[in-house]
Amino acid sequence: MTTPTDIANALEARLGRPYWSADGRRLVDENDPGNDCSGWLVVGLRAAGIDPGGSVSSAMASWCFDAGLELDVGTGINTFGALLFWGPNRGLAGFGDSGHIAFSLGDGRILETPSSAGHCSGISPPQRAGSPSGAGLIPGVVYDGAPPTISGGPVAVANDGMLRTGSKGPEVAELQRRLNQAGETLGVDGEFGSATNDAVRRFQGAHGLEVDGVVGPSTWGALTVAQPTVTVPTPSGSNPAWPGRFLVLGLVGDDVRTWQRRMTQRGVALKVDGEYGPLSRDACTAFQTAQHLEVDGVVGPQTWAATWSAP
C-alpha cells in the first residue's frame, strides 16, 4: 500500500542526488540548471512502488486523467499527494519549452525540482511560474480522506496554462524578451500588462495568427521561429560556458547563482541566492551600461561572457 507520504519521502530524498532524465539518456545532477522535473518524479514514484504511466508531464497527466482521477486545480492544490501540471489543455500539451509537473503538499505548497522554466528545487508556492492548469490523483496510491475526484471536470480559463493579461512570472519575462527580439521595446518585468498585450497582438497580426492577445503554442512557436540566431562566445580558460538559457526576472537556478557569485567577485553587493530578482536585474542593467552592451537587464550569452572577461 503506497501512500502520499511514501511518495513525498521518496521525492524529497532525491533532491540533491543524481537521477536519470525522463528520456533515460543522461544522469542529471541537481547542480545542472537544465535538470528534469519529470525524470525526478519518475524515479521517486518508482522508489515508492508506483510504476508511472509515462516519462514526461503530459503523459503522466494522461495517465491520471484516463484512470478517472482528474481533479480541478483548486482541489489538487489542497490535496496532499496530487500531481499538478502546467501547460495547455490541463497539462496534456506542452507549454512552449516550459512544461512542468510537481507534487502537491496539500497546504498551498508544492514539492518540485527545476525544469527549463526555472523553478526551484524543494518546496515553493504553486504559482511560482504561473498557475497550474491541471491536477490529478496518482493511480495506485491510497489517499486517506482524499476528496472525491472530478473526472474531466471543467478548468477555469485563467488556469489553462496560456499567458494573457494578468499573468506573472518568468514565462512572461521570457515572452517579453522574445517580443523585444522581434522589434518591441518592452520592459522585461514578468508582468503581462497592457503594453505586453498590445505587443502580443501586433506580433500575432504580423504573423497571420489569431489576434487575441493570448499566448499559447502557436504564438510561442512563431516567436521561436522569429528569434535571431544566438551567437555564443567561446569561454576562455576556466570561465564557465553560457548555460543555454537567458536569465530573466523570476528565474531560479544554479546558473543564476553562478552569475551572482561572479558579480559579487566584481564588487557588486548582491545576494547569492539563485533567484534572479529585481536586484539581480538592476545589477545586470548597470553592468551592461558600463560595458556598452545591449541594456535589457537580461543575462544572455554576451553579458554572461563579459561578466568573466570584462576588465
Give the pLDDT confidence of 61-84 residue by residue, as tens digits: 889 988 888 888 888 888 888 999
* Spatial separation of the C-alpha atoms in residues 247 and 304, rounded to whole Å: 9
User: Which one of 202, 226, 250 terminates a domain?
Assistant: 226
Same domain, 211 and 238: no
- Residue 164 in any domain: the answer is no
The rounded Cα 14 to chain-centroid distance in angstroms is 19
- Residue 92 in any domain: the answer is yes
* CATH number, domain containing residue 276: 1.10.101.10
277-288: average pLDDT: 95
The backbone region for 83, taken as left when phi is positive above 0, alpha when psi lies in -120 to 50, beta otherwise, is: beta
Same domain, 39 and 112: yes
The per-residue pLDDT for range 138-170, each reduced to its tens digit, is 998 887 654 333 333 222 333 345 788 888 888
Same domain, 301 and 249: yes
126-140: average pLDDT: 77
- Residue 165 in any domain: the answer is no
- Residue 15 in any domain: the answer is yes
User: Which one of 201, 226, 251 terminates a domain?
Assistant: 226
pLDDT (0 to 100) of residue 153:
29
- Residue 87 in any domain: the answer is yes
In the block, residue with C-alpha cell 515572452: 175
162-184: average pLDDT: 87
Domain extent, residue 29, equals: 4-159
Same domain, 97 and 138: yes
Same domain, 89 and 65: yes
* pLDDT beyond 50 at 23: no
- Residue 72 in any domain: the answer is yes
Distances (CA, A) of 273 to 77, 190, 258, 277, 305: 26, 19, 10, 10, 21
95-101: average pLDDT: 58
* CATH number, domain containing residue 152: 3.90.1720.10
Same domain, 117 and 20: yes
* Spatial separation of the C-alpha atoms in residues 204 and 262, rounded to whole Å: 39
Same domain, 176 and 236: no
Same domain, 186 and 291: no
40-54: average pLDDT: 83
pTM exceeding the 0.85 threshold for the entire prediction: no
CA angle 36, 37, 40 (to 5 degrees): 85
pLDDT (0 to 100) of residue 126:
57
Query: Which of 25-34, 162-171, 227-236, 271-280 shows the lowest per-residue confidence on average (mean pLDDT)?
Result: 25-34
Give the chain's mean pLDDT. Answer: 79
171-196: average pLDDT: 91
Same domain, 122 and 137: yes
- Residue 93 in any domain: the answer is yes
Same domain, 300 and 205: no
Same domain, 119 and 177: no
In the block, residue with C-alpha cell 493511480: 139
pLDDT band with cut points at 50, 70 and 90 for residue 38: confident
Query: Which of 192-201, 217-226, 284-293 shows the lowest per-residue confidence on average (mean pLDDT)?
Result: 217-226
pLDDT (0 to 100) of residue 274:
86
pLDDT (0 to 100) of residue 144:
63
Q: Which of 214, 256, 195, 192 is closest to 95 using CA atoms?
A: 214
* pLDDT beyond 60 at 256: yes
- Residue 118 in any domain: the answer is yes
* pLDDT beyond 70 at 112: yes
And the C-alpha cell for 209? 495568427
Higher pLDDT among residues 194 and 9, named by residue: 194
Q: Among residues of the chain, what percentage have pLDDT more than 90? A: 27
* pLDDT beyond 50 at 26: no
Domain count, the chain: 3
Distances (CA, A) of 308 to 186, 258, 276, 297: 28, 11, 18, 17
pLDDT (0 to 100) of residue 169:
80
Higher pLDDT among residues 198 and 228, named by residue: 198
And the C-alpha cell for 154? 471543467
In the block, residue with C-alpha cell 553587493: 269
pLDDT (0 to 100) of residue 41:
84
Same domain, 133 and 217: no
